[in-house]
Amino acid sequence: MTSIKLILRNVKKNIQDYVIYYLTLTISVGLFYSFNSIQSQPALNDLDATKQLLSEQMGILTSALSIIIAVVLAFLILYANQFLLKRRKKELGIYILLGMEKRKISGIFAGETLCIGILSLLSGFIFGLVLSQGLSLLSLRLFAIDLEEFQIVLSIDALKMTIICFLVIFIIVMLFNIRTIASVKLIDLLTANRKNEGLSLTNKIIQILLLAVSFILIMASGFIINRYGIMPRRDNYWFQLAVILLSVGTALFFYSGSAVLISVIQANKRIYLKGLNTFLTRQIGSKIHTNFMSMSVVCGLLVVAVCGISVGVSTAMTMNETSKAALPYDINVVSEIDIAGDTDIAAWLKTKDVNMENIAQKMEQISIYETELTYGDLFEGQNVDLWPIDQGIPEMCVAVVSVSDFNKAMSMQGKENIQLKENEFLLNCNYKGTFQYIEAFLQNHSSIMLNGRTLQAASTEVLQETYWMTSVGNNDRGTLIVSDQIASPMIKAQNVLLVQYKADTDSDEVLQKMTPIGLEWETYGYRYTEKNMLNSMFYGASAIWVFLCSYIGLVFLLICAALLSLKQLTETADNSYRYGLLQKLGTDGKLLYSALFKQIGVFFIAPLMVASIFSAFGIVKIMAVVEDFMNMHIATNMGFTIVLFLIVYGGYFLATYLSCKRMVQERHLEELEM
């Protein structure tokens, strides 16, 4: 039989074993191609300046993610290949026993790898081509581009990058197979499924020292990230150093921690000799110790998954909550009094060929007044801990608006008016960064001194309205609402024209006329905020972040859960005879399945617990960066992440246990029939 025929026959015969490897490769190729092909969508090339900038940022993020994904996928493919080799070690032993040279065996396995690789590239490319169109549609949606501009695109650059990347990975896999086959012994191959991995680290002092070193490296990494942040820069390599220290520390932790754990349990005879703990301890300890690199990488992927999903979902939920109330008008135009003067904004715009009377269904002009009262005066006596983006707020003057102007804004929104006596005031605040301090002021102070007059609080409740548009999530840090008699003598700082369009108004046409005015605001003193434009910028920037974080996090979660599941299924299949021996020795079935449940549980929980600790620290740092970028506070919401992990991770765990339990039961039935 020629080598080619043997290769094809082996691929056909072992197709069930190759399914895991094939699916891993196919999904990997599809993901890699789809992420790298997004920028090839022609519709993304015809954007305005703002959206073009956001599109370029998305390209930078995608490129960075592609590098990470390539490294992760390389590990996953090697990991799946390792499963395959372990399943077929006995077959390799028979080949050697029959006199076949290791060089020829290596060639056969390299040929099988090449066959599966070619099939995976083809199917993965088809999968990636379909997935990339969906990602392109989502990208157009994020940038508010008409979906009619969408085109089905074959990205040659992404295809070349994918082929080159996976050719390199296949070569590495084949070299790995050749090295593995060349270095194994015949006895190891024939007894691979009966040989439990031993502990290479037996010196207790070295165990403890390595464990201590792992803690030191992990804490050093945390210290560096806490001081220098998580944003890598070309002139600052502290973040890269922190990642290296964390990676080495985590690997050492799993390597030495399992050995220390075994030593501690063995030292306690009451625990070690109880039930099947002797068997269970050796099984768990040896597997974690010999697979410490796999556990470390799974832990790292889980950190990315937890942080990605948590940050993405938290950002999305905050966006949805804040955007609903933040954009009550179609457009508002602000005039700076010290530049434009105290003018009728609609009348001035008419001189610039922007006739608001023709396009406005509702329109009102309100004024915002200056005062010497600062936010620091309102925060006085409080233990103020502002977010980094708000450090300058205490020195800023508190905005003042008259009750009649405030009611004009509320009427435009269809809300009830408020009533104030001449000597009363109210406070409005819709920004979470300062709301608690504004609320505390009202709770502790029933009066305020404003321009030499004492005003009494009309209510101890802080209003949370948006009476004019500035941005989403950071609109009003605190505004004093006073009677018209109090406001009229004060100096105006700004006039604001609030507009709601008629149903048939073309917002793009309005923006074309307003853009030159906005660009010359330092000359004219007029600037504007338009609802659709703000939505475009807000969702265009933040939704990309949400999409990438959530998508990558979910993919990594599925990969981790699937790999852990496959690992346990494979090892249970290889070691099912051990459970059969325990049953022959009279071990109670309930006790046996309990040991199996615990073994699988430890392998699922161990990397997740370490990843949760790292993620708790990482989420805080990532949130700080996102908040600074979006200029808004994001409330961390872990509920969805926990539920998702319970469903996906817990579902994989339960399915793995039930499948492994069935393997053990089938093995027992086979031995009874013999």
With cut-offs at 50, 70 and 90, classify the pLDDT of residue 646: confident
pLDDT given for residue 502 in this prediction: 94
Backbone angles phi, psi at 392, to 5 degrees: -90, 0
Longest Cα–Cα distance of the chain, Å, equals 105
Q: Which pLDDT score is estimated for 537?
A: 65
Give the whole-angstrom CA distance, residue 478 versus residue 491: 18
Q: What is the dihedral of CA 606, 612, 617, 618, to 10 degrees?
A: 100
Helix/strand/coil for 603: helix
Helix (H) or strand (E) holding 403: helix 403-412
pLDDT at 460: 92
What is the per-residue pLDDT for 399?
Answer: 95
Cβ count near 223 (within 10 Å): 12
10 contacts 108 by C-beta, under 8 angstroms: yes
Model confidence at 61, pLDDT cuts 50, 70, 90, reads low
pLDDT tens for residues 600-618?
A: 888 888 899 999 999 988 8
Mean pLDDT for the chain?
Answer: 79
Chain segment 433-473, per-residue pLDDT in tens: 899 999 999 999 999 999 889 999 999 999 999 999 987 66
Q: How confident is the model at residue 481 (pLDDT cuts 50, 70, 90)?
A: very high
- Closest alpha carbon to 364 in 333, 341, 403, 392: 333
Has residue 412 got a pLDDT over 90?
Answer: yes
Q: What is the pLDDT of residue 403?
A: 97
pLDDT band at 287 (very low <50, low <70, confident <90, very high): low
Backbone angles phi, psi at 624, to 5 degrees: -60, -40
pLDDT band at 498 (very low <50, low <70, confident <90, very high): very high
Tokens, residue 422: 């001449």
Highest mean predicted confidence (pLDDT) among 282-291, 323-332, 498-507, 652-661: 498-507
Q: What pLDDT, in 10s, does the model give residues 64-93?
A: 666 776 776 677 667 666 666 666 666 777
Residue 599's pLDDT band (cuts 50, 70, 90): confident
- The answer to whether the CB of 47 falls within 8 A of the CB of 156 is no
Predicted local distance difference test score (pLDDT) of residue 55: 57
The model's confidence at residue 377, banded by pLDDT at 50, 70 and 90, is very high
Residues 529, 507: Cα–Cα separation, whole Å:
12
Looking at residue 9, its pLDDT comes to 79
Beta carbons of 57 and 540 less than 8 angstroms apart? no
User: Which pair of structure tokens corresponds to residue 223?
Assistant: 């210290």
Residue 368 has what pLDDT?
97
Band (pLDDT 50/70/90 cuts) for residue 234 is low
Say yes or no to pLDDT of 209 above 60.
yes
Q: How confident is the model at residue 281, as a pLDDT?
A: 74
Distance of CA 96 to the CA centre of its chain: 48
Please check the confidence at residue 334 and state whether its pLDDT lies above 70.
yes
Q: Give the highest mean pLDDT range of 20-24, 617-621, 659-663.
A: 617-621
pLDDT band (50, 70, 90) for residue 295:
confident
- Residue 564 corresponds to which tokens in the numbers above? 């852990």
* Confidence label for 496 from pLDDT (cuts 50, 70 and 90): very high
Tokens of 173: 């896999």
- Whole-number pLDDT of residue 485: 94
* Three-state secondary structure of 469-524: CCCCCCCCCCEEEECHHHHCCCCEEEEEEEEEECCCCCHHHHHHHHHHHHHCHHHH
CB of 418 closer than 8 Å to CB of 403: yes
Across residues 666-673, what is the average pLDDT?
Answer: 59
What tens digit of pLDDT does each residue of 575-591 get?
A: 767 777 777 777 777 78
Asked if residues 266 and 281 have their Cβ atoms less than 8 Å apart, the reply is yes
